[in-house]
Structure 1
Amino acid sequence: MEGRVAARATSGRSAGRQLKSLPRALKDHPEVDRLRRFAEWLDRHAAACVAQVDAWMVSSLPVPTGLLARVWPDEAWQSALRDLAVVGDDPDEVGFLRGATDSGELRIVNLDGETVRLSPRTVTLPHPVLLPDLDDLREFAAELGIVQRVEQIHRAIWRRPDDLAAKATQVREFTGGSFRSRFALAARASSLGYRVSGGYATARVRDGGHTVEASVWIGEPYWDGDVELGNLTWHDPDGRALPLREVGPVAWSEGMRMAAALYAGREIEGGKDA
């Protein structure tokens, strides 16, 4: 929709066809302006629904089943929620959300391909790094033709290695990615949905009941020359740098995802020897 208002012809051979542009007499009509503002609000509402569902999923927060049933009739909410993998009372039973009833029941397609009804008090929309047998789940979703509006099962994940040094607090895997300006790097971080604060791009994640902030150095705010990505670190709410061994699975995956996404936009030398 993108905030646009369209008109259709009502007579002649082109009756019913959408016009390429609004007739001049309608462009400044008060009703057209009201429709345009309403269309823009619908787009903002749809984006807000996706952002909220994404936040539930990244944090793996329990969501009241009654709340999902209440918002389901709204097409924007339904689009954001449909086909997400959900878990009810049994953490080993995963299914794809297909519907919700007024009575608070959820219709789920389980991994046997059967549609079942569940009515737990709450459900979670798990972060993919927490889903068991993720590869099998992805394969089954492909068989069903599932397309998720909120990136979940096909979200890129990173698992924390087991052989980390006891006192290590920094990941250097993406350090040194070069950008032509700090502004370009900050703009990339913002466009990907990350917060830019001081010299860092940050992602705040709720993991296992605790809030953790992942951060990557992107350069001094008013630096005018080339910049390079710095190290990736995680901090607790008090600002303490966390030893890598203490970083939870979701915070680790989301921090690495942020650093990888920033690194992917680096300047790459051309030529045979690049």
Structure 2
Amino acid sequence: MPPQIAVLVNPAARGGRSRELLPPVLDRLRRGGREVSVILGESAADALERARAAVAERPAVLVAFGGDGLVHLAVQAVAGTGVPLGVIPAGTGNDFAAALGIPLKDPLAAADTVLRGRVRTVDAATVGAAEWFAGVVACGFDSRVNERANRLTWPPGMAKYLVALAAELRTFRPIPFRIDLDGELVEREAMLVAIGNTCSYGAGMRVCPDALPDDGLLDVVVLGAVPKVEFLRTFPRVYRGSHIGHPAVTVRRARRVTVQAPDVIAYADGERVGPTPLTCEVVPGSLSVVV
């Protein structure tokens, strides 16, 4: 039997617009001479259970066909197993794929990468009791915007995040954080804290611009308390990564990071993790990715 490719699919990616991309991608993978199976769960929990069952059969690769949310789910199934992860970016945010140089705008080129690419060993990290992440954990203003956006039923897509951002700005106040960096305690008021295994989140915001996915460390970026007007001037610089030059921004690196802050829900790879306190710890070399 030829080596199997298991394809984990999110049919809701890009508001369902990615569905038309799936058949040609599956055809390209099958033309590569591999047996291809499709995993489609009735819910996120069901999809994860099915993905873990597929990984237990030791396929050649588990492919995430979707955005960062689906990659996050796939990482739960493959981290620490040695089964490689393939990514065919088909979501609104594809930051993990971008960080590893996987083609973003050509699904067939990404499928060719799955077929003919090399396996790169990178880090993943744990967050909380039993969850993995591969990208960035967000705590503070950005995660509160996520919370607001997830409560909105309209407008669709990225527009709801703009609505949520405007609403959060009206009421937001700097948050008192306690951050433990490999045993060193930092206490300060801040707008946000980002813990990055890779450099970006939110479809291209380079919040941890110097983070490397294979250095055995997490980059911890803290944007300290600033007036709202200054925050509005500084935050857009995150798309270039130039915000780290602002005097209110500090960047540290650590293997183990514990964050505590009142009324803050953390998000990892854009997915809700839960309230702080929580601990993030890098596990070097725990993820294999086809690049």
Which TM-score tier does this pair reach, normalised by the shorter chain?
under 0.3
Q: Which is higher, the Rg of structure 1 or of structure 2?
A: 1
Task: Judging by fraction of residues, say which structure has more strand.
Answer: 2
